[in-house]
Structures are given as C-alpha cells and as structure tokens.
Chains A and B, each alone.
Chain A
C-alpha cells in the first residue's frame, strides 16, 4: 500500500527527519487560510498516488494570494495522470542550495534491502541513473546482520560527500532505514532531500509503500487500504478478495492466477480488447466466482466473457457453480467461454455446459480466445494491440 505524501511526511517527522511546515487542505478557501499562516511563498502539492506528479503539473508555487487562488482552483479541478485531486498539501517554500536523493527498496534479485543515494536529486533521478551512474551509489544490507551507521558513512564517501555533511546525512539514512523496518516498507524514499541555504538537511517529499502482506502486524496506525482505491470497481475487487484492474475494452476476464491473467490479456488483446484484469488467487469458491461475475458485469457494453481457470489449489467445479448461478439469476445473454483444466475438470465442464457456457478443453488459451472471437468479433473499439505499444 502506497501512502500519500502527507501521511508519509507525518511519519518521517515523528521519526526525527526534518520536514517542511505544511497542512492538508481540501478547498481553495482552506488553502488560502493555511498559506496565510505559513507565509508566502508556498508550494501546493496535489495528493495523488501516481509517480511523476511534478512533471504532470501536480505541483505549483504561489508567491501571493492571487497566485494561490488561481493555482488551488486549477489543481482542485484537474486530474493528475487520470487521478482526481481531492486533497492538496500546502507547504512552506524553503531556500534550497542543493537537491539530493535518498531511497530504500528491496532488491528482489539479491534478496536484500538496498539503500540508494545520489548527489543529483529531483524529478530527473531516473534519467540520472541512466546517464550518470557515477552520481548514484548503493549499498545492500544483509538481512541477518541489519543496518549499521558505518554503512551509510561508506555510501556517502563513495559519492564524494564532504566530511562535514556526512554525519547529518547518515543520521537521516539511519532514520529512513528505521522507518522502513518498522513499517515493513517496500519503498521508502526522499526525493529530493534538500540542503538548505543554512546548511541543514530537509525532506521536502516523502514516499512510503508498505508491504500489503505485513499490514496486519504493523503496530503503528495506518490508513484503511480499501478506502484509498479510487476506482469503484477496483475497490469492489479488493473487498471481495480478488485483484481487479479496470481497462478500456469490452471483453470481461476471470483468471485463476496473475500470470495466466496477464497472458490471457495479451492474447485477447491481439484480436479484441479486455475490459478488465481479474485474478482470483487460490481462494475460489462458488460464492467468490458469483461475485466475480457480478463485478465484471458492472462494466456496461460488455460483449463477451472469458473464464480461464486451472484446478490446482482451486476447486474449479465449485467456481463453475457460482458462474452459472449468476448467469441464470441475471439472465446473461452475452457469450461466456470457459477454459477450465486440472483436478475435477470433467465435472467442471459438465456444470459449465449445463449453464450455457462454451467450454474449451484444450490447454492453449489461444484456442479458447479464438472461440470467443468467432462468437463476438472484433467489436467497435478494435484490438488492444493496435493502440497499446
């Protein structure tokens, strides 16, 4: 779960990382009031959970009341990368001498946390990583050994940081690592970490992504995960315990694994256009697939449905019962094609067939998608392959 900047800044502040004065607002009127208290100039930052927010116009500076009114008005009426702006963080504008980068993430390949620092912070950090790798340094932390401050000092020396700054900066690295550990973060990042004109360091942005699998055991207050999903269908998916991603097509998809779901999307996308991605994981029951049908049918203009499931850990015959119960109760008229293989496959096919589902018994997803295509054709929107990369 990715936290909003204002939530992460609060956590950073509680853990003794210097952050700017700031307040969260949801109206232009409140923004005006807060800016008056903080003092101009101020920075307005849209609180949306997308990367590259600054380059997408989600961060504005206001020198005075007039500029603030205009910037706040525009921000509240805008979308940043498709996300509506409901909350804006009004921050003091600090005097910056230099922008640095500091981040911690998990290196999946080595299986270790990695701390990354750079002398070139800011919005172009990914560009810097490609063009000037010497300006970026990284150290891995042994999981069984943990973090010690000498590692931060070594990291900063690798970057050629002058000795007088090493103590202050390594303190912040230690605090960030501490936060990452306590909140079981997959990403903890300060970009930029700024050197103020008075020589101090300050985190003027904060990113914290908490491991979803650890949420139940983190002992610190965290926002509710379901509430923050903007898309109502994706929120419903989370509520019923499946991963649903809303897409722009008209072919509904239910799959019993993430890899199979992605492959199904790739194959559907060659000739048609998926309306969603839906992955059940290992918890299929009749009720769950009934709710999955209900969820994918919430998209208007659906032309067909493709169900792609394997019976390894999942009782697919139970799932089939849920699908046909939904179809009967709601008089589903659009074609439903199912490919279901594995444990109890014959029983599953019989159940599907009894409910009017087109059953494909071959392993290749292409064959099943072909069957669906023959029933529904390309549709008005055309194949996803045309418009996506």
Chain B
C-alpha cells in the first residue's frame, strides 16, 4: 500500500482561503487527493476549489469525517491551530509553513506525542503517494508509482531524488518530507519504522543534510531493526563550518552533525552512502528496485 496516507485518508486544508492554501488545494485535488474540507476561522460557509470551508476543525471533522490535516496557516498562528486540530481528533498532521518559533514546535511535538498524533514538519513539503494522493506541496510531475520509499529533510531534494528515480523507471511507494527545522515533530527513525513495516516498500532512501543528529540516531535503528536495503545522501559537504545555510537545521555544531560523521554512522549500520544524488539510480539498479 503506502505509509501514512491510504484510500481512507480524508484531508482538510487549514488556511485554505489564503493564496498558497487555495493554490495548493487545487494541485492536491488535481492529483486525486480526497480533500473534503478546509478551515479558516471566520470564513465558514465559503467554498474554495469546490471544497467547503468551516470555522473550526471540530466542525470540519463532524461534517466531513476528515482524519488528516495539512497546514498553510501563517507561522504565528500554527501552534494554536495545531492544538485545536489535535483536540478535534485528527491523527495525521502536515505542517508546511516555515519560520515557526522553536518554542512553539517544542510544545506541538510534546502534545502530539502525548496524544498519539503523527505530525510532520515544520518546513515540510508533506507526503506524496504516487498515483494516489498528496498532502502538501510536492510537484506531482516528478513522481511515479513503485516500491521505493523516500524520507527527506529537505523539500526540494526529495523532488530531485524522486525525479532521478522516475527517469530511471524506478517508482516510489511513498515520499515523506520530515521537515527542515532543527526540531521536527517526528524523528527519522519513526518514519523508517513505518517503511520497514510496509509490505509495498522494498527499500528506503534517506535524504539528509549537515547538522543535527537525526541521521546518526537513525543509524542505530537501522542496524537493530531494518531488514530492507537503505541508501543515504547527506547534502552540505562544502558548506563552510558554522555558516548558516538557510535552515538552522544545517548549522554545523561541534563534531556531531558533520557530513563525515553522518557518513561513518550510516556506513557502520550497513547503509549505502551515496556521494551524489545521481548515484541513486545506480544503487536502485544494483538492488533491482522498481
């Protein structure tokens, strides 16, 4: 099947009446996603792209049976809307916006984990299941159905890897953006576990970047639990030490978080470390992936 999204996923779009929210609702619907409603407080009763807009998440859930939500809410309002969404019973949340204060992310993460909610982001392109649907902003043209899972810290690099695989006739089971912030709502190992347990995924690609310790920690999980082949690429080899490359997640602090450190940890866990994105095509061929 796929991970996170399936045939019964019914999506609401929060912030649907905004410029980005409405444009992305169009693309999600066009890709076949079951978008059942939208939420913007005060704009209830409107329609966007033929989808009904509600004033609250609870109302949207009651009226549409929604069980998943994707956020295009301005950063300052995300914490509030996130807590509302969890309290309304939604179990899968994708936080696309960037520049959300870390203090808010810490609270969001803590509440989501407490309530058993699977949340991705912030600063994530979301989830895409080729041929089935997507929650977020991934551009559909680059993806093909298949059996390789992708997890990426960077949005645009997830498109790059999917695009290279698709051109080599290797499809994807699910593509997941975990978010590019220094603190994200779910760690890499949690998503790897979903792919390990997914019958329709044969192998997984990790697209990481310099900074943080997600890849190092995931290496421990891989050596203990993963039976499927895993490949990894880490961006940022020539990023000057200590210089900030856009996301705070990419700051090099001390020895943890360097490209070399991540390569070593992943290699020790049996992961195929890719020097360059294009090498993913060779790796897929060698492992006879489709």
Contact = CB atoms under 8 A, between A and B. Distances in A.
Given A263-B235, A277-B239, A279-B245, A366 B277 contact: yes
Contacts of A310: 139, 155-156, 159-160
B102 A184 contact: yes
B228 interface: no
A364 B162 CA distance: 10
Contact of B160 (A143, A266, A363): A363
A258 B154 contact: yes
10 contacts: A126-B254, A212-B248, A260-B160, A261-B245, A262-B245, A263-B160, A281-B246, A341-B142, A364-B160, A388-B238
Interface size class of B (residues with CB under 8 A): 35 or more
B193 to A, nearest CB: 16
B20 A313 contact: yes
Interface stretch (A105-113, A197-205, A288-296): A105-113
Contact of A106 (B106, B114, B250): B106
Contacts of A112: 106, 110
A247 interface: yes
B265 interface: no
Interface string B99-116: 111110111011100100
Contact of A269 (B105, B209, B238): B238
A211 B122 CA distance: 15
B152 interface: yes
Contact of B141 (A109, A143, A341): A341
A342 B235 contact: no
Interface string B179-204: 01011100100000000000000000
B249 interface: yes
Nearest to A245: B243
Nearest to A282: B98
A362 interface: yes
A214 interface: yes
B100 A255 contact: no
Contacts of A260: 154, 156-157, 160, 235
Contacts of B273: none
A53 to B, nearest CB: 12
Given A186-B248, A211-B101, A259 B110 contact: no
Nearest to A346: B141
Interface in B85-129: 96, 98-103, 105-107, 109-111, 114, 125
Interface in B12-44: 20, 24, 27
Interface string A249-287: 000000111111111011101100010010101100000
B207 interface: yes
A310 B143 CA distance: 13
Given A143-B110, A363-B166, A262 B235 contact: yes
Nearest to A184: B103
B160 A243 contact: no
Interface residues of A, number: 64
Shortest Cβ-Cβ A-B pairs, 9 listed: A259-B154, A363-B163, A342-B139, A257-B156, A258-B246, A260-B156, A214-B101, A259-B157, A262-B235
A370 B93 CA distance: 40
Given A259-B156, A312-B159, A345 B141 contact: yes
Contact of A313 (B96, B99, B105, B242): B96
A243 B244 contact: yes
A57 B156 CA distance: 41
A247 B99 CA distance: 25
Interface string B244-265: 1111111000110000000000
A274 B156 CA distance: 19
Contacts of A255: 156
Interface in A72-131: 106, 108-109, 111-113, 126, 129-130
Contacts of B103: 181, 184, 211, 214
Given A108-B182, A262-B154, A364-B167, 16 more contacts: A106-B106, A130-B255, A181-B103, A184-B103, A213-B99, A217-B101, A258-B180, A259-B153, A259-B157, A259-B235, A262-B236, A262-B245, A266-B235, A312-B156, A313-B137, A366-B277
Contacts of B244: 243, 245
B182 to A, nearest CB: 5
A265 B238 contact: yes
Contacts of B101: 184, 211, 213-214, 217
A281 B159 contact: no
Interface string B204-230: 000101101110010000000000000
Interface in A304-325: 309-313
Contact of A342 (B114, B159, B209): B159
Nearest to B72: A313
Given A111-B106, A213-B75, A343-B139, A265 B239 contact: yes
A311 B243 CA distance: 27
A144 interface: yes
A230 to B, nearest CB: 12
A263 B281 CA distance: 16
Contacts of B167: 362-364
A384 interface: yes
A263 B157 contact: yes
A290 to B, nearest CB: 20
B76 interface: yes
Contact of A311 (B139, B239, B276): B139
Contacts of B96: 313
A364 B114 CA distance: 41
- Most B CB contacts (10 A, CB to CB) among A277, A312, A341 go to A312
A10 interface: no
B138 interface: yes
Contacts of A214: 101-103
Contacts of B137: 282, 312-313
Contacts of A365: 160, 277-278
A143 B159 contact: no
Contacts of B210: 262
